[in-house]
Structure 1
Amino acid sequence: MSIGISMLFTFIVAFIGAKIGQKLHFPAPFMIGSMLAVMLFSVLTDTAYFPKEAKIIAQIVAGIFIGQKLTRSDVIHLKYVIKPTLLLLVILTLNTFIMGLAFSYFFHWNVLTGLLATTPGGLMDTTLIAADFDSEIHIVAIMQLVRSVGVLLLFPTWINLFTAEKAQEEPAEENVESTRKKQPLNKKHFLIVLFVGASGGLIGYFLGFPAGTLSLSLMFSALFKLRTNISAFPIQIRQFAQILAGSMVGSSFTREVAASLKTFFIPALLLIVVYLLISYLYAWINKRKDWLDFTSALFASCPAGATDIALISADYGVNMNSVAMIQIARLIHAVGIMPLLYQFVSFFL
């Protein structure tokens, strides 16, 4: 089967999965439904394929969508995310070193493999970093993939456990969205917004710094919105981006990965459980300190892809701008700062 046909079938499966997820009222149905469908398709047929370049589209769309939601009041309040951001980075750094050292001891990995396998960064970024260290790259790649997939699958349910009150408010939010959808789309404004956001995203991509595509598309979109007050980005585009992201994550879950789960089941399960507990602890501290509301803090601390979380969080009525800023900081720290700490550790090994 050619690559083009495989990609087409994968997207069709993802679209069907998203619609089934919507019918069955899955949390974040377009992301979770498409991801589950493609994972099943990948394991059963071993023909699922979705190019990594789709990540760029999803990142640009997520950035534009968040930027379009930004208001002047949000900009003023961004200074209040400094403390919760620093708190999260400290917690995640400590957790990586504690779990990384524990895993290397109990599962007989070398220290750098343990640290990189538990780093809360992106799959691709962390795997590339692992290639520069004396680590077992296949372990890092599998642990990062299982963590990302596992957290994305379980996190919406984890969120729903603590947001019963918000769940009762969702119909009202859905009515707002449906009202927006009924308003005629200004195609000229939409194309302008898309061009501005995509320009920023592509600049960020070619600059090559961590989370550059997401952060610069968000920045360009937000600055344009604040400057012109033009807002024209339909919800269907975000849903499309969720399907793209779900397809990409699901297609990476191959038969080989499924077969290796027996070996990595215990460390992967422990890692996912610990990260879920950390998200609860972080949200509890933020609520006590009155820094972020509980649900926004849960999303901000979720160690999945920054783009995936940004796309999902829009379904829950949280403070998307705070979540996005903290998630971007988390990713930059994970792939930009923590490898320097690993380099320091490697001198003593």
Structure 2
Amino acid sequence: MNREEKMNIIITFAAAGFVGFLFYKLRIPGAMMIGAVCGTVLLSLTLRCAAMPYAAKFSAQVTAGAFIGCSVEKSDLLQLRNAYRPALVVLGSFLLLNFSVGLLLRRITDIDLLTALLCAVPGGMSDLTLTAADMGADISHVVVLQFVRLCAGIGLFPSWIVWLDRKFVRKERAESETAFSIKERKKSDSPPAGVLCILLSAGVCGFLGRCLRLPAGTLIFSMMGSLFLKMTVLPVSLPRWIKRLAQILSGAYIGCSVSYDSLMKIHTLLIPAMIIVFAYMLNALLVGNLLFRRFCIPFREAMLMATPAGASDMALISADIGVQSPILIVVQILRMLAAAAIFPQICYQAAILF
């Protein structure tokens, strides 16, 4: 890495951190990550020097995994047996939505069926781009529409969920939050050595997960490593500034993954993008209300379960809007695994048949 590349990384991190801090002062939900994305994209559009290595994404995923593991208590583990029913509802709704939106896009645009279906998959942008290339779909369409879906998931949905919760659900929430109630975590002063051990454990386990090339392997393994260490010998909690740093790194990496040419194509895909965002908002509203009323899951948590963002993104953002739930992360990880390994194969077979 030469001096210019290092300087570009420093400038990108500074821009992402500045806009993230600005959004944080404005009290925007998920401010650090959203601001980091906006700052990086703005830098990319103006100076064309935005750069962030894969190590930033890896570090963010490891930190998110460690943050999840350290936020889980033993009592939370007993609740995980109740996660399979909400997970089935969420996965079923996403699969139905995937096909409904894909078929609608195919009908009203000139996008081929396989590309339309992959554009509507609620999975990771980078993973789906590689999958689309392997399957012969139009990568440019997939990148742009998946980027819109991702930005809506981390930028629009948290603020919208908070607004809905305050506007319509506040009175009902006190009666409905029972088995899945949000518990206030007691903040403890964790020794720096303990925090360092947790992060090292998460890093080693996350690297192992990456080497195994499992979908979401880095996040899952780092979470399990930190959880095991916390439950056995180191009952520590990570300080919030580490989570903020991970949000900036993740947002900067997401911003850098969008090229100038991709951004210039957004206006040509405006109608498909609006359809995808509206469909996912409607799905989140319907499924969130179902989970809220049928399974007594708190409204914000239920809505976040049906939000099409990444599991690590949800881990980093959910606490900002008052949700600390291992069940939410379990459901999001299952959604990520299904979207990476199962949904594209179903889409491919459907495109062949029809």
The two structures have a TM-score, normalised by structure 2, of 0.90
Take 2:82 and 2:249, find their aligned partners in 1: how far apart are those partners? Answer: 32
Indicate the residue corresponding to 1:189 in structure 2: 194
Aligned counterpart in structure 1 of residue 39 of structure 2, from 37, 48, 58 = 37
Aligned counterpart in structure 2 of residue 294 of structure 1, from 276, 293, 299 = 299
Take 2:325 and 2:45, find their aligned partners in 1: how far apart are those partners? Answer: 34
Indicate the residue corresponding to 1:328 in structure 2: 333
Take 2:160 and 2:230, find their aligned partners in 1: how far apart are those partners? Answer: 33
Matches within 5 A, 1:239-254: 239-254=244-259
Take 2:54 and 2:109, find their aligned partners in 1: how far apart are those partners? Answer: 31
Indicate the residue corresponding to 1:255 in structure 2: 260
Indicate the residue corresponding to 2:27 in structure 1: 25
Give the secondary structure class of the aligned counterpart of 1:25. coil
How many pairs are equivalent? 340
Indicate the residue corresponding to 2:143 in structure 1: 141
Moved more, 222-231 or 271-280: 222-231
Take 2:98 and 2:83, find their aligned partners in 1: how far apart are those partners? Answer: 22
Following TM superposition, by how much is the alpha carbon of 1:131 offset from its aligned partner in structure 2, in angstroms?
Answer: 1.3
Q: Does residue 277 of structure 1 match 2:282? A: yes
Following TM superposition, by how much is the alpha carbon of 1:32 offset from its aligned partner in structure 2, in angstroms?
Answer: 1.6
The two structures have a TM-score, normalised by structure 1, of 0.92
Q: Does residue 56 of structure 1 match 2:38? A: no
Following TM superposition, by how much is the alpha carbon of 1:255 offset from its aligned partner in structure 2, in angstroms?
Answer: 2.6
Q: Does residue 231 of structure 1 match 2:236? A: yes
Take 1:36 and 1:151, find their aligned partners in 2: how far apart are those partners? Answer: 14
Matches within 5 A, 1:156-175: 156-164=158-166
Structure 1 residues not aligned, in runs of 5+:
168-175
Following TM superposition, by how much is the alpha carbon of 1:252 offset from its aligned partner in structure 2, in angstroms?
Answer: 2.8
Amino acid paired to 1:293: P
Q: Is the 8 A contact 1:284 1:294 kept in 2?
A: yes
Aligned counterpart in structure 1 of residue 100 of structure 2, from 90, 98, 101 = 98
Question: CA offsets, 1:131-177, max 9 Å, x none?
Answer: 1213111111111112112332211221221232899xxxxxxxx89
Q: Is the 8 A contact 1:46 1:254 kept in 2?
A: no
Q: Is the 8 A contact 1:186 1:232 kept in 2?
A: no
Take 1:265 and 1:50, find their aligned partners in 2: how far apart are those partners? Answer: 28
Following TM superposition, by how much is the alpha carbon of 1:185 offset from its aligned partner in structure 2, in angstroms?
Answer: 4.0
Moved more, 94-103 or 301-310: 301-310
